[in-house]
């Protein structure tokens, strides 16, 4: 088993992808078995060499140049001897998808395109010699293969760049999540410093004063202890307020948390114009975030969807959020369901509305509320 993992099987981190491509080796293998004598032995031997070289070309190592060279040699043999061109597409995707530097990539592309072009010219000359009236336009299958072989490295590079961008976006989102958490910690620390810190300092001073007064003016101790008691009660209420505020998430935090739940349910979340909600007041975001959370929870539980879209809108005097899924829709109201009514009541607290449109293609939930006035707008009106 160790021998198989080290020399035959592909590294497990690549998953099923490399084995899928091996399906297309079945045709050249069939060509090899159809041959007889030494030609069968050579063809199957070269295909075995091709497999080993292809297996070792999924990573950039010291053996990679030899693996690429081995594949090119086999490709040339299969084209000129067995009239099979498609094997070049394997190496085209390898050359295009590996994370080379620009200089190294051009070397491999030059080697690939040069070898392929020379092989094509030689194969065409061979066909012309055998078939005097041969015209390339009569063989549309060859033209399609030529297009694939020439275009595959470019397509592979495009796929690689897209994957890199997606990975970069995911990493950026993770960094933003950490930034949000850190900002929240800083806000909590600042609140505690500005409020509880000052109040506890006052309690300490009052306690020390009461201890001194106990000896020189006992009648004034009760007043100081009353101040300490009142301050302790105020601090307790303040702590409860801070904890309650921490439990309430803004829109960005809700989306981060709910996206994890959607991923667990195999639902893809896409947002449009999400950044405009960052400037909305925190208390408004808390209310809208609670509605978004309830809506997404309903999608996970009942919609049977695989995609969910959040679209944010902002007009002169109106803020809107559209929550859409591609699930089965809402056909009949569920008994004892408080989801829609609960979201409607939340929206009423900010003078907002909630509209639901549903069909067999999914459900669209639209929430809207008046845009809060800024301090400058309030001053101008007053």
Using the predicted structure, report yes or no on whether residue 261 has a pLDDT greater than 60.
yes
Cβ contacts of 298 within 8 Å, gap of 6 or more: 339
**Using a CB cutoff of 8 Å and minimum separation of 24, what contacts does 178-181 make?**
180/252, 180/253, 180/256
Indicate the range of 60-64, 123-127, 169-173 predicted with least confidence: 169-173
pLDDT in tens, 172-202: 777 777 777 777 678 777 777 776 777 777 7
Mean pLDDT of the region 198-212: 79
pLDDT for res 8? 62
pLDDT for res 275? 87
The pLDDT confidence band at residue 3, using thresholds 50, 70 and 90, is low
Cβ contacts of 126 within 8 Å, gap of 6 or more: 80
pLDDT in tens, 227-244: 878 878 777 777 776 666
Higher pLDDT, 325 or 381: 325
Distance CA 354, CA 376 (A): 29
pLDDT for res 333? 53
The pLDDT confidence band at residue 323, using thresholds 50, 70 and 90, is very high
Using the predicted structure, report yes or no on whether residue 21 has a pLDDT greater than 70.
yes
Distance CA 171, CA 120 (A): 43
**Using a CB cutoff of 8 Å and minimum separation of 24, what contacts does 2-9 make?**
7/52, 7/55, 8/55
pLDDT for res 176? 74
Among the listed residues 250, 321, 259, the one whose alpha carbon sits nearest the alpha carbon of residue 279: 250
CA distances from 380 to 145, 316, 319 (A): 70, 16, 21
CA angle (135, 136, 141) in 5-degree steps: 130
Using the predicted structure, report yes or no on whether residue 375 has a pLDDT greater than 60.
no
Strand 318-325 relative to strand 362-370, pairing? antiparallel
End-to-end CA distance of the chain: 81
Using the predicted structure, report yes or no on whether residue 319 has a pLDDT greater than 90.
yes
pLDDT for res 15? 66
The pLDDT confidence band at residue 337, using thresholds 50, 70 and 90, is low
CA distances from 369 to 286, 319, 364 (A): 13, 5, 17
Mean pLDDT of the region 74-83: 90
Cβ-in-10-Å burial (0-12, 13-18, 19+) of 339 comes to: middle
pLDDT in tens, 118-146: 998 888 788 777 776 656 555 667 788 88
The pLDDT confidence band at residue 331, using thresholds 50, 70 and 90, is low
Task: Look up the CATH number of domain 186-247.
Answer: 1.20.5.1930
Using the predicted structure, report yes or no on whether residue 247 has a pLDDT greater than 70.
no
pTM of model > 0.75: no
Among the listed residues 92, 208, 109, the one whose alpha carbon sits nearest the alpha carbon of residue 155: 92
pLDDT for res 76? 93
pLDDT in tens, 212-226: 887 788 887 788 788
Task: Look up the CATH number of domain 251-331+338-373.
Answer: 3.30.565.10
| Segments making up each domain of the chain, as ranges | 2-134, 186-247, 251-331+338-373
Are the CB atoms for 324 and 313 separated by under 8 Å?
Answer: no
pLDDT for res 164? 79
Distance CA 356, CA 343 (A): 11
Q: Write the DSSP string, 189-253.
A: HHHIIIIIIHHHHHHHHHHHHHHHHHHH-GGGHHHHHHHHHHHHHHHHHHHHHHHHHHHS--HHH
pLDDT for res 380? 47
* pLDDT > 70: percent of the chain: 85
Look at residue 127 and give its three-state secondary structure.
helix
The pLDDT confidence band at residue 309, using thresholds 50, 70 and 90, is very high
């Amino acid at each position: 088993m160790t021998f198989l993992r080290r020399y035959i099987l592909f590294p497990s981190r690549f998953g099923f992808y490399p084995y899928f491509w091996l399906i297309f080796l079945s045709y050249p293998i069939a060509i090899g078995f159809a041959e007889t004598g030494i030609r069968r032995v050579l063809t199957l031997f070269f295909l075995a060499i091709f497999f080993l070289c292809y297996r070792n070309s999924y990573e950039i190592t010291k053996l990679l140049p030899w693996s690429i060279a081995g594949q090119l040699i086999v490709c040339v043999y299969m084209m000129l001897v067995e009239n099979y061109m498609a094997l070049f597409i394997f190496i085209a995707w390898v050359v295009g998808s590996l994370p080379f530097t620009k200089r190294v990539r051009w070397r491999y592309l030059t080697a690939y395109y040069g070898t392929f072009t020379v092989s094509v010219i030689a194969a065409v000359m061979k066909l012309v010699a055998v078939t005097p009236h041969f015209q390339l336009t009569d063989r549309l299958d060859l033209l399609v293969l030529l297009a694939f072989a020439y275009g595959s490295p470019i397509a592979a590079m495009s796929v690689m760049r897209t994957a890199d961008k997606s990975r970069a976006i995911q990493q950026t989102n993770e960094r933003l999540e950490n930034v949000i958490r850190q900002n929240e910690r800083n806000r909590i620390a600042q609140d505690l410093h500005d409020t509880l810190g000052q109040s506890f300092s006052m309690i300490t001073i009052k306690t020390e004063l009461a201890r001194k007064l106990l000896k020189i003016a006992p009648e004034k101790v009760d007043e100081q202890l009353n101040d300490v008691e009142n301050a302790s009660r105020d601090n307790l209420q303040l702590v409860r307020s801070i904890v309650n505020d921490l439990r309430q998430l803004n829109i960005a935090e809700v989306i981060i948390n709910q996206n994890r739940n959607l991923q667990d349910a195999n639902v893809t979340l896409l947002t449009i114009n999400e950044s405009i909600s960052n400037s909305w007041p925190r208390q408004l975001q808390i209310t809208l975030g609670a509605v978004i959370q309830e809506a997404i929870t309903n999608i996970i539980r009942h919609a049977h969807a695989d995609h969910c879209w959040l679209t944010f809108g902002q007009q002169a005097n109106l803020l809107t959020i559209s929550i859409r899924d591609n699930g089965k829709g809402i056909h009949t109201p569920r008994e004892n369901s408080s989801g829609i009514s609960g979201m409607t009541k939340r929206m009423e607290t900010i003078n907002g509305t909630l509209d639901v449109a549903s069909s067999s293609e999914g459900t669209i939930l639209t929430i809207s509320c008046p845009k809060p006035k800024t301090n400058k707008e309030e001053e101008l009106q007053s």
